Amino acid sequence: MRIEGKVVLITGASQGIGAACAAEFASHGARLSLTARTEEGLRQAAPKDALLTAGDLTRDETRRIVVSRTLERFGAIDILINNAGAGLYGPSWSTPMEEVRWLMELNFFAPLALTQSVLTHMRSRRTGVIVNIGSIAGKVPLPWMTLYSVSKYALGALTEGQRMELRREGIRTLMVCPGYVKTAFQQNARGGQPPETVLLSRRFAISSAECARAIRRGVERDARTVVTPRAAWLLVLAMRLFPALVEGRMAAINQTA
């Protein structure tokens, strides 16, 4: 899809990958609707003329308001980027259920609810792109954040299933699986800390601008999946070909936590 003139709704746009997407899509002529909880962060990230809606996406009301305000202002939504999300470190077997529900509310139910609401509109126009920001953790389970992986696997299945469901309706879905991106994701995550080895691998992380560029290109070339950096495909492939080996290595890393 060509970006110029398109209306793009981006969640989690006050910082990190979402803010970088706002800059990237604006520089290619998109009209933006941005949302996150922090109004000040949104203002700093927002290019001129962007519509800003501050609110917590774990709440139904915020999800409803952000879509209705976008349609009121622009009359259309061409691209929805479900980017808002958070990490949760710690063992799955001892994490309080309340925390698990919060995680799924933000990382899975919010994208699903926004997609349902936006699809009513997109299906009537027979055009649109749903972009879901998953993670490499949604392709290979990371034992220091198993529940986060669960939320991203769920988002991946939703993206692939909806692609088939909506095939004849002119609507496409794109799954984005970033590896390590330099943002405040780890500081903003709940639970404990990742293992030292994981923290050290930050030196291989890509910038949020590089990640946003890969996302924009993915939309332009009608991609199904974007894994960024591309080298992360090697881990996905290794998991498919040698699962016991990869699981053993991951378990060993997790024991150092």
Ligand X SMILES: NC(=O)c1ccc[n+]([C@@H]2O[C@H](COP(=O)([O-])OP(=O)(O)OC[C@H]3O[C@@H](n4cnc5c(N)ncnc54)[C@H](OP(=O)(O)O)[C@@H]3O)[C@@H](O)[C@H]2O)c1
Q: What residue ranges bind ligand X (CB under 6 A)? A: 12-18, 36-38, 41, 56-58, 83-86, 106, 133, 135, 178, 180-181, 183-185, 188
- In the complex with ligand X, which residue's Cβ is closer, 77 or 142? 142
Helices and strands counted in the chain (H then E): 11, 9
Name the token pair of 252.
Answer: 């060993």
Compute the least distance from the CB of residue 188 to ligand X, in Å.
4
216: how many CB neighbours lie within 10 A of its CB? Answer: 23
Contacts of 80 by beta carbon, 8 Å cutoff, 6+ apart: 8, 9, 114, 115, 118, 128, 129, 130, 131
Compute the least distance from the CB of residue 20 to ligand X, in Å.
8
- In the complex with ligand X, which residue's Cβ is closer, 3 or 189? 189
- In the complex with ligand X, which residue's Cβ is closer, 135 or 162? 135
- In the complex with ligand X, which residue's Cβ is closer, 169 or 236? 236
- Could you tell me which residues are beta bridge partners of residue 38? none
Name the token pair of 59.
Answer: 């709440």
> Residue 5, by phi and psi: left (phi above 0), alpha (psi -120 to 50) or beta?
left
What separation in angstroms does the CA of 140 have from each of 6, 61, 151, 227, 234?
33, 33, 12, 12, 11
Compute the least distance from the CB of residue 133 to ligand X, in Å.
4
132: how many CB neighbours lie within 10 A of its CB? Answer: 27
What separation in angstroms does the CA of 95 have from each of 139, 155, 185, 231?
22, 21, 19, 32
- In the complex with ligand X, which residue's Cβ is closer, 82 or 162? 82
What residues are annotated to the active site?
Answer: 148
Compute the least distance from the CB of residue 234 to ligand X, in Å.
16
Compute the least distance from the CB of residue 97 to ligand X, in Å.
18
